[in-house]
Amino acid sequence: MYGPESRAPRNTVADIIDMKQRGEKIVMLTAYDYPSARLAEEGGVDMILVGDSLGMVVLGYDSTLPVTLDDMLHHTKAVVRGAKKPIVVTDLPFMTYQASVEDAMRNAGRLLQEGGAQAVKLEGGVHMAETVRRLTQVGIPVVGHIGLTPQAINTLSGYKVQGRTPEAAERLLDDAIALQQAGAFAVVLETIPAPLAKLISSRLRIPTVGIGAGAGCDGQVQVWHDLLSYSTTFMPKHMPRHVKQYANAGDLMRSAIEQYATEVRGGEFPTAKESFQMPKEAIEGLQRTRG
């Protein structure tokens, strides 16, 4: 049903933190437009991430790096219109927060003020702690993101598991603690060993949300297009290990389009059922007067 309707109040930062305290798993899913946000809400997610992953799954880029703040604003507005209960978190795209705290505050502020998001997500640990602190001080809730950080893909030399050595694992634990101390209300742990993610989760008061980080996290996040196998045309031949495809929407949609094309070419669509009519005398009169 479209139009105004009664919905439950939107989840808050406090609600998400309380879920960890109660031992309730947090469900997070990406969404990039109005219909996907509506479906995510109806499916019962607690948080929606408007991820800069839209660069690859929606805009056709080969990484998240080309995504702009205007892109994120555009898609965030649509998601906020579609989902009224889940807390909406939007990614700060590449180079909108790394150069200075002032840049981060200005751009994060726009995502809340213009985009309607309730929080922002940024990548980085210890070195981003001061930025997180300043953002939270002015009333901008922040979700941290450590482990595999896609905006640093060139530095990381590919999409590889992070934190496998004792030194790297210790750095990630330090990163997570620094983000918590700076005021982040949650931390995404991406593509790190499950035992390390479980350890980090046990050391933090704030929730961890895993993607490729095992079941020991306080919640999980997946990408919309991965979860639904929305289209294999831009998916890698070998899906990441952490992905579970719960439906094959891509094949279903492709089959429907193929059937549509076949019926149009064969003259089977549209039929009288899909067409509009007019009085016979009206068309006959037009034919007489206009030849």
Distance CA 80, CA 113 (A): 12
* Of the candidates 115, 125, 52, the residue with the CA atom closest to the CA atom of residue 88: 115
Cα separation values, 221 from 54, 74, 123, 279, Å:
15, 22, 15, 56
Question: What are the residues whose beta carbons fall under 8 Å from the beta carbon of 181, sequence distance 6 or more?
Answer: 129
Active site residues: 190
Q: Residue 118 corresponds to which tokens in the numbers above? A: 């309730």
Spatial distance between the Cα atoms of 169 and 250, rounded to a whole number of angstroms? 37
22-28: which pairs have CB atoms within 8 A and are 24 or more residues apart? 25/218, 25/219, 25/220, 26/186, 26/207, 26/209, 26/218, 26/219, 26/220, 27/219, 27/220, 28/89, 28/209, 28/219, 28/220, 28/221, 28/222
